[in-house]
Structure 1
């Protein structure tokens, strides 16, 4: 096991302009400087023969929405989102890796985003089976699977139960992920008390819209920390994604991400696995998650980010993305 501790980097300064012409100029300049690929290059590339978004129907009749961007012959990276979000949460990573020549795939978990708001199956077994349905439809091989938070649990279950037995997985990444198990039990004394998750359920049932605003504006991105650079756009985008999904799926998903013991999934993971976590994660505390997970996987590397929050994929994409690329290419 290797442990690395990169230092946090300062966020780029935010700015606001009021005049229309100035905004247009800034937008053009920013697009040229920040996008990982040029518009002309992207538009002139040959067609891959598959659309940017589609659905796959699972064996139990659930329509799973997915995005599939990039050339078919490139190595695929599959992104698994956190609760209660959607594949849109991976925008910063999908554009980055698309610009690096990869094929990028992301999908909305059942009951989330644009996928069917089905009544049943809000558990890790169904989540992993749905992921497999997408992978099999697209016939993805030698894929890297990256999961954030609940999506990290989804990756662990998918890799152990489907990906490795089918020979489709090259590497895995668990980012701020929930395994091995979040809730406090006799065998997991360092976990969070059940009352914490009961509180989530109560707040969701009472006023889901306000609860989601409070999470995004507070602990998820560390915006409640002194001196934090708060992005209203990030908060509203989190809320938008959450409110697209099913209240029932979100309610039952709390049990899935907090009470599923994934110890055996982790032990079964034999592919190289990068475990990434911020040490200021207020949603999934690092000591009872990543620090334990990396000891259970067979080929694990832990990367700890000082001061980074749970949503570091968004707030610190400039740091995380190159680290992901280095692992994938290494």
Structure 2
């Protein structure tokens, strides 16, 4: 099996860590807010048997360069294009999780969908905040998001507390073992708190409804949303992206907690779009 890890320079002095494993039709996995390639280990193991499977650490995440420059999703979309170009990847399925979906939609905003085969978008609304709470699918109430930014993401202890609470309350459905929670928090802390705060605000104030609609009209698209969002997310997406498939599974980290079921869902989608 072809297996390669590389650092790809996206601008002078800034390199992204990329794993490129297997052969076949390419899929590209993009982690969410402050997380790393490691969260997708079960997807890499499964899909690299039949696909060229690429997983990347965005800038200031994981093993990529920590930088004060470009910690926003406009830049992340450009970075993705540079990685795809460097690896000579065309006609890929892009799989974004959480804020990684913003990277995918920003790519579509800048470069269109001509070089994309299909999209899998994991548990992220195209617009994070709305005054239509209860009607629109959003990340959460505006006051709660503001409190998270103000109270937690301006010092290291706050970042640890924020991710720990989010992991146990939103990301998984079962009780985490102590070592599992420590691992999840450790992944996030590879991004310094002052960069995490910037990414958090950049993500919350994004609006990619137009790109979500355009993408689902142009190429096969599937959303996989956490079960706790289903009541709001499913009708919202049915209206905004009526051509997209929508599945529900687990919590925010469903591809880690329920990896076999998640991989089965994605496998069916990929097979249906050959």
Structure 1 length-normalised TM = 0.74
**Which residue in the other structure is 2:225 paired with?**
277
State the SS of the aligned residue for 1:251. helix
Contact 1:160/1:266 (<8 A) preserved: no
Which stretches in structure 1 are left out of the alignment for 5+ residues? Answer: 1-44, 223-227
Greater RCO (Cα-Cα under 8 Å, separation 6 or more): 1
Which has more radius of gyration? 1
1:240 aligns with 2:192: no
Superposed counterparts of 1:1-330, under 5 Å: 45=1, 48=2, 52-59=4-11, 61-71=13-23, 74-99=24-49, 101-162=50-111, 164=113, 167-179=114-126, 181-185=127-131, 190=136, 191=138, 192-201=140-149, 202-206=151-155, 207=157, 208-222=159-173, 228-269=174-215, 270-280=218-228, 285-286=229-230, 289=233, 291-297=235-241, 299-305=243-249, 308-330=250-272
Asked whether the 8 Å contact 1:275–1:290 carries over to 2, the reply is: no
Residues 61/290 of structure 1: CA separation in 2 closer, same or farther (3 Å cut): farther
CA contact (8 A) 2:37 2:62 kept: yes
Q: Residue 249 of structure 1: CA displacement?
A: 2.1
Equivalent pairs counted in the alignment come to 265
Q: 1:60 to 1:124 in 2, by over 3 A?
A: farther
Contact kept in structure 1, 2:221 and 2:245, CA below 8 Å: yes
Greater alpha carbon shift after TM alignment, 143-152 vs 155-164: 155-164
- Matches of 1:325 and 1:233 in 2, distance apart? 30
SS in 2 for 1:78: strand
CA separation in 2, counterparts of 1:212 and 1:187? 23
Q: Deviations over 1:111-162 (max 9, x none)?
A: 1111111112222211111111111100111211111111122222223432
Give per-residue Cα distances to partners, 1:263-322, cap 9 Å, x unaligned: 111122111000111222xxxx445556434533473111123xx211111111111101
